[in-house]
Amino acid sequence: MTTERDRAKVVIIGSGPAGYTAAVYTARAALQPMMIRGLQPGGQLTITTDVENWPGETSIMGPELMEKMEAQARSLGTDIVDDIVTDVDLSSRPYRLTLESGREVLAETLVIATGAQARWLGLESETKYRGFGVSACATCDGFFYRGKAVAVVGGGNTAVEEALFLTNFASKVYLIHRRDELRADKTNQARLFANEKVEPVWNATVSEVLGQDDPLGVTGVKLAATDGGEDRELEIDGLFIAIGHDPATQLFRGKLDMDESGYLLCKPDSTATSAPGVYAAGDVKDHVYRQAVTAAGMGCMAALEAERFLAANEEAEPQRQAAE
């Protein structure tokens, strides 16, 4: 039997900047939100080192920023649950969530803030230096490589745009691609090839990330030739992986509208998904900006929309009962 504690006006799935901001706003609106934190409490910022583009903070470590957001959400009364949602029934409201622990939760509204994960190369050395010279976000970390040599792995528009952005800081930018031509559109390619700081490295894959232990940091990469040529090493100070992201939306396949890449689709100028009272915020719907501050902004939008949805339905219920 579902207890009163297992029912909430607002349930937030995910605990990154979008989720915690939604929690703060809905808690301040006296909606007593429940947050189910998921596999990676705090989201991608917990594997980020210095954050220098968060408003009001000159420099803060990613994990510390998420600890502050969590503390604020808790202080306002958010019920934070350390569990994982394994199934969601969106066929009727209240929506039914099944958790890994076996617990069931009924949600009058739902904010999906499950985020997205960067695709990585899958190398042990890559994991070792992640956050210490290996990154998946040039906008986040490019500033730290002023006057240094860096490399970007990838061949699509994201990789080209990351490489071009890095030329604002780095003295040299290598673009490593496993083929001899890029998938990026012709306009982006023209900009890339016209930039004197960029050097394409064709027909190569990264086989190992090289680095030092004290202090921990990247010093280079080993490259494996894909065309039968010789393997070689490249001296760099930072490595940026730009081979795509995967939104964490598997739970909602066949239940909510999404694009071909799995990002949730929302109404224009809104976080509202294809199900009434269900909202999406952050990287789970955003494949363009993917920044903590934009995710937080969408968390605010989702919270406000959930509050208005609940208010409208509370007003409509007495009218419906009177009509019956």
Residue 1 has pLDDT above 50, yes or no: no
User: Which two tokens mark 105?
Assistant: 């939760």
Q: Higher-confidence residue: 139 or 142? A: 142
Residue 319 has a pLDDT of: 53
Residue 199 has pLDDT above 60, yes or no: yes
173 beta partners: 150, 198
Q: Which fold has domain 124-241?
A: FAD/NAD(P)-binding domain (3.50.50)
Q: How confident is the model at residue 107 (pLDDT cuts 50, 70, 90)?
A: very high
Q: How far is CA 265 from CA 112, 123, 153, 249, 310, in A?
A: 12, 33, 28, 11, 21
Taking the domain 7-117+245-322, which CATH number applies? 3.50.50.60
Contact 13, 85 (CB under 8 A): yes
Residue 85 has pLDDT above 70, yes or no: yes
Other CB atoms within 10 Å distance of the CB of residue 300: 16
Q: How far is CA 240 from CA 48, 142, 154, 159, 175, in A?
A: 13, 9, 9, 9, 10
Residue 48 has pLDDT above 60, yes or no: yes
Q: What percentage of residues in the chain have a pLDDT greater than 70?
A: 94
Residue 298 has a pLDDT of: 98
CA separation for the pair 292, 15 (Å, rounded): 12
Q: What residues have CB less than 8 Å from 244, skipping those under 6 apart? A: 118, 119, 154, 156, 158
Residue 322 has pLDDT above 50, yes or no: no
Same topology, domains 7-117+245-322 and 124-241? Answer is yes
Average the pLDDT over each of 98-107, 130-139, 190-199 and give the range with the smallest value. 130-139
Average the pLDDT over 158-187 and give the result.
Answer: 95
Residue 294 has a pLDDT of: 96
Residue 3 has pLDDT above 80, yes or no: no
Residue 38 has a pLDDT of: 87
Catalytic site positions: 137, 140-141
Residue 2 has pLDDT above 60, yes or no: no
Q: Where are the domains of the chain?
A: 7-117+245-322, 124-241
Q: Higher-confidence residue: 46 or 119? A: 119
Residue 23 has a pLDDT of: 98
Q: How far is CA 155 from CA 159, 226, 324, in A?
A: 6, 14, 61
Classify 11 as helix, strand or coil: strand
Contact 14, 113 (CB under 8 A): yes
Q: What is the dihedral of CA 50, 53, 56, 62, to 10 degrees?
A: -30
CA separation for the pair 66, 136 (Å, rounded): 19
CA separation for the pair 124, 97 (Å, rounded): 36
Residue 316 has pLDDT above 70, yes or no: no
Tens of pLDDT, residue by residue over 249-297, are 999 999 999 999 999 999 999 999 999 999 999 999 998 888 899 999 9
Q: How confident is the model at residue 39 (pLDDT cuts 50, 70, 90)?
A: confident
